Chain A
Amino acid sequence: MKLGFLVDLNLCMGCKGCEVACKVENEVPLGSWRLRVKYIDIGTFPETSRSFTPLRCNHCESAPCERICPVSALHYLENGIVNVDSSRCIGCAGCMMACPYGAIYMDPETNTADKCTYCAHRIESGMMPACVVICPVQANIFGDLDDDNSHISRYIMEHQGAVQVRKPEKNTTPKHFYVGGGNQTLNPLAQQRLEGYNLFNNITHLKQIGDPHESVIGRFLEPFESEEKLDNRSFIDFDNDNYKGGH
């Protein structure tokens, strides 16, 4: 069994339902995302179009994150999922440097690397990933790539020539496919990501990796301190460069 994912960008309407479902299902903290939907405006007014691209871990067959992880915290499951063992992660961020898709984040609550696992816990129970279940237009297609009769295999065969992966030149053999995508939607170098407030939100970069309130000395003292559970309020006012910019 080799599980894979396909997103038909012709169907996706950018409702972000999958993003929310993922957050809720996996209790992803504020400021972190396992799955996100990026809006990209293409062309010059009045000839413009808007594209929606859901981005998540590609569960590569030759995963650079798995290769660089010094303690096998990132490992393959038998069904092809690249899973994370948070209890083993040392927080070196090597996987964040290796993943060409920027799919891994440092969880600000646990200070360990985390990412989309195709909802491995749900798969184990015979359920579909939360983002697949929530999608109102069935743009997310999930299944066994080894099974020729699975929905995803048939979808790939029916759309031969139009199925793409992100950054194929990296030779990571991603198991996440797109239909209806193009260079401008799948290649970040073909997009301008202008920092600051724009039509929808303040596009910026995170200043911190992991817990925004953690000091270097705090990392060493953490095991000896009383457990103080972080809550979401800690992340609401995280300090960003453009935070004070007007809207």
Chain B
Amino acid sequence: MVEHGIHATQAVVTLDVALPGIIWGWMITLNMWAKSVGTGVILVGAFLLYRHKKDEMPNLRWMMPLIAFIFLNIFLLFTLADLHHPYRMVNIFLHPHWTSAITVGAWMASLFTALVTVMLVIGYFDAHPNVRKNCALANAARANSSLYEKIFPFVVFLAIPVTLYTAIIMAESSARELWQAPSEVMQMMWAALMAGSAGLILISGKWSPEARRDLALVLAIATFFSFLMYMGEYFFSFKSAEGEATLAYVHAGGAYNAEFWFGMVLGFIVPFFLAVGNMKSDNKTLLKFAALMALIGLYMAKDVWLKIPQMLSLS
């Protein structure tokens, strides 16, 4: 009977309306995950270009903006698809409200995507001189090849706030205490470095072993610190009653407990050891496996962290 299972000092809701369940679901997870890949490849790509000669990574100049372009468009597509009025997205540009991180993020992400598109066009036609020789766009891109190097520093700089603004949205979502931790900002940055290195590992087959070793190093560091931060947040995020109640439920084997630990093992622990191992002896297949695992695990971890605070009734 209910009364025997309820502490005498507690109260039981006996009549109420149906409340909303998970409001931001898998589309927002996919949105955040794709943005991590899109900005991460630029950040990690810049690191590689700083450390190595372009000859060591022959396709990086056009593949880096290509991956960023694809994943940024996935991010933008699912941002639109999650809106109940997708065509009204234009209101963000016509009637911007600058206290909202959603507005600031949308403007920055749009500018970032536009610049990445320019880099992609120049990088692609530079790398493929025989493609579309009579096309005006291709010729203009080849004629302005130096523009790539001029805008690249701005793109790298912009990648940082584009990566981080989701943490500000989560901080503004003041109903969800679990997201209010300042560590969310660093968690976003580690996610981008993790996803970026994983994305570039998948195209690094013909690169020099030294470049691949650097990618493995970034992956290892990012998975290690990201894992530590998740553990810290998972076990010690008891700053608020809401956060405590949410985590206590998940700790006790509630919904998303299994997904969280699968994500941690597949996406963080396994890739960390594979990446560290690869720094000693170059093994392309194992490193690519580690990259895939990291991408899958990152999605799962983000999914859990997005959904669990939404299970709590707010009123």
**A interface with B by C-beta (< 8 Å):** 31, 33, 36, 38-45, 50-51, 55, 64, 67-72, 88-94, 96-103, 105-106, 111-112, 166, 169-170, 172, 184-185, 188-194, 198-201, 203-207, 209-211, 214, 216, 219-220, 223, 240
Q: Closest CB-CB distance, A52 to chain B, in whole Å?
A: 9
Max chain B Cβ within 10 angstroms of own Cβ: one of A55, A68, A170, A193: A68
Given A88-B91, A170-B174, A193-B313, CB of A206 within 8 Å of CB of B100: no
Chain B 69-93 near chain A by CB (<8 Å), digits 1 or 0: 0000000000001111111110110
What chain B residues lie within 8 Å of A31 (beta carbons)?
Answer: 18
Given A64-B172, A71-B91, CB of A203 within 8 Å of CB of B16: yes
CA distance A172 to B172 in the complex (A): 12
B175 at the interface (CB under 8 A from A): yes
Which residue on chain A has the smallest CB distance to residue B311?
A: A205
What chain B residues lie within 8 Å of A89 (beta carbons)?
Answer: 85, 88
CA distance A111 to B83 in the complex (A): 9
Residues of B in contact, count (CB < 8 Å): 54
Cross-chain contact B14 with A199 (CB below 8 angstroms): yes
What chain B residues lie within 8 Å of A102 (beta carbons)?
Answer: 19-20, 175, 313-315
Cross-chain contact A205 with B81 (CB below 8 angstroms): no
Cross-chain contact A112 with B175 (CB below 8 angstroms): no
Cross-chain contact A98 with B175 (CB below 8 angstroms): yes
CA distance A102 to B176 in the complex (A): 11
B233 at the interface (CB under 8 A from A): no
B10, B19, B82: which contacts A206 (Cβ < 8 A)? B19
Given A71-B91, A190-B10, A193-B313, CB of A36 within 8 Å of CB of B17: yes
Which residue on chain A has the smallest CB distance to residue B172?
A: A68
Cross-chain contact A188 with B315 (CB below 8 angstroms): yes
A39, A70, A200: which contacts B102 (Cβ < 8 A)? A70
Q: Closest CB-CB distance, B161 to chain A, in whole Å?
A: 16
Q: Closest CB-CB distance, A187 to chain B, in whole Å?
A: 8
B252 at the interface (CB under 8 A from A): no
Which residue on chain B has the smallest CB distance to residue A99?
A: B175
What chain A residues lie within 8 Å of B6 (beta carbons)?
Answer: 44, 192
B51 at the interface (CB under 8 A from A): no
What chain B residues lie within 8 Å of A40 (beta carbons)?
Answer: 11-14
Cross-chain contact A38 with B13 (CB below 8 angstroms): yes
B282 at the interface (CB under 8 A from A): no
Given A40-B12, A40-B13, CB of A69 within 8 Å of CB of B176: no
